[in-house]
Amino acid sequence: MKFLDLAKVHIRSGSGGSGAVSFRREKYIEFGGPDGGDGGTGGAVWAETVEGLNTLIDFRYQQHFFAKNGQPGMGRQRTGRDGDDIVLRVPVGTEILDEDEETVIADMTEVGQRVMLARGGNGGFGNLHFKSSTNQAPRRANPGQDGVERTLWLRLKLIADVGLLGLPNAGKSTFLAATSNARPKIADYPFTTLHPNLGVVGVDNAEFVVADIPGLIEGAHEGRGIGVRFLGHVERCAVLLHLVDGTSETIADDYRTIINELTAYGGALADKPRITVLNKIDALDEDEHEAARAELEQASNGPVLSMSGVSRNGVTDVLRSLRGHIEEERLRHAPVQETDPWRP
């Protein structure tokens, strides 16, 4: 299945049915009076999150979603049938934006969450509704209310605990393949990863989700390379894992390039908890390893872990560090339980 994280859709709710103008026409009943029924309500347009989806590819092949109109009222006091609703089924993590691509209408973060995008029009009153003591034979009825038509954008931000960051060929896909059942494409050339990949990683009987996004390069916030289009997928992560290629001749510059892009992207991404890891240490001897690690520690002004996704050396320590940050973040955002003041 192809990956798509941005889609444009056109929706329209159903119009209400018009009311009926009708009079009783029964034998032996003189002055039967009005009996026109009301029109039915138009169908609404809903969005609902469902399990089993991690892409918006379905909305590439269908962009128009129109709910059914309500049926008009009929004689004998019969109300028209309501129009059927229509539901847009989206993956968890989908943001629904207005046509300007900036105004957030809804943020779908839980399975089963539903939000109404367009309400159906009300049905019109039939002439029975206008009967009174002074107007016993009304000959007017209301038309149904028009439906709502609008253009929306769907933007998917994957739900993951850990987000992988780094330059192209920093070893992100190798790390994901070595620690989970995910099978991302791995090759010795830049931009091997063209769309985000998710993997479930386990350590010490605990599991968490890791998201691998395409690598960033200098000037990505200006659209160079693949740009920062996929950085939205790590906005929801509890911790970022920054991998730096230990075989690079410009380790400090490589580190600063990613940090500058995070800062230029804006938001709270640059302030998220971040673990810096020197990768590919299997290709370094002991002296080269120590020199590379010291250079990276000086550039990051903090602790640095070392590992190799190929030989799995140091991978367990990295996973345990990630687990600690995730649990700390979950505790920080856990709801505070109110205590009963009457209990000891």
- Pairing between β-strand 239-245 and β-strand 305-306 as defined by DSSP bridges: unpaired
Mind listing the pLDDT tens digit for each residue in 100-147? 988 999 999 899 999 999 999 999 999 999 999 889 889 999 999 999
Question: What is residue 216's predicted lDDT score, i.e. its pLDDT?
Answer: 77
Asked if 20 contacts 74 with a C-beta cutoff of 8 angstroms, the reply is yes
The per-residue pLDDT for 307 is 92
Per-residue pLDDT at 148:
95
Which residues are CB-neighbours of 288 under 8 A, at least 6 positions away? 246
Q: Which helix (H) or strand (E) holds 96?
A: strand 94-97
CB distance 48 to 90 below 8 Å: yes
The SS3 assignment for 309 reads: coil
- Of 287, 282, 289, the closest CA to residue 308 belongs to 282
Q: List the structure tokens of 151.
A: 């253009």
* Binding-site residue ranges for Mg(2+): 173, 193
**Residue ranges of the alpha helices (H) in 87-184?**
172-179
Binding-site members are 166-173, 191-195, 212-215, 279-282, 308-310
The two three-digit tokens of residue 109, written as one number: 């973060």
pLDDT at 205: 84
Q: What is the pLDDT of residue 223?
A: 60
Q: Is 152 helix (H, G, I), strand (E, B) or coil?
A: strand
This prediction has a pTM of 0.75
In a 10 Å sphere around its CB, with 0-12 CB exposed, 13-18 middle and 19+ buried, how is residue 222 labelled?
exposed
What amino acid is encoded at 269 in this protein?
L
Q: Which residues in 157-273 belong to E strands, given as ranges?
A: 162-165, 197-203, 206-212, 239-245
Q: Which residue has the tokens 């020199």?
A: 291
Q: Which residue has the tokens 């056109």?
A: 10
* CA–CA distance, 274 with 174 (Å, rounded to integer): 19
Write down the pLDDT at residue 170: 84
> Cα(322)–Cα(161) distance, rounded to whole angstroms?
9
Write out residues in the chain with pLDDT < 70, as ranges: 1-2, 182-195, 219-229, 267, 330-344
Residue 50, pLDDT score? 92
| Nearest partner of 36 among 24, 50, 52, 47, judged by Cα | 24
pLDDT at 63: 94
User: Measured between alpha carbons, how far is 326 from 333 in angstroms, rounded to an integer?
Assistant: 11
Annotated binding site for GTP: 166-173, 191-195, 212-215, 279-282, 308-310
**Domains and their CATH numbers in the chain:** 1-156 (2.70.210.12), 162-332 (3.40.50.300)
Q: According to the model, what pLDDT value does residue 328 have?
A: 81
Q: Kindly state the tokens that stand for 134.
A: 């002074």
Instruction: Please tell me the number of Cα atoms within 13 Å of 177 on its side-chain side.
Output: 14
Mode of pairing for the β-strands spanning 64-66 and 6-12: parallel
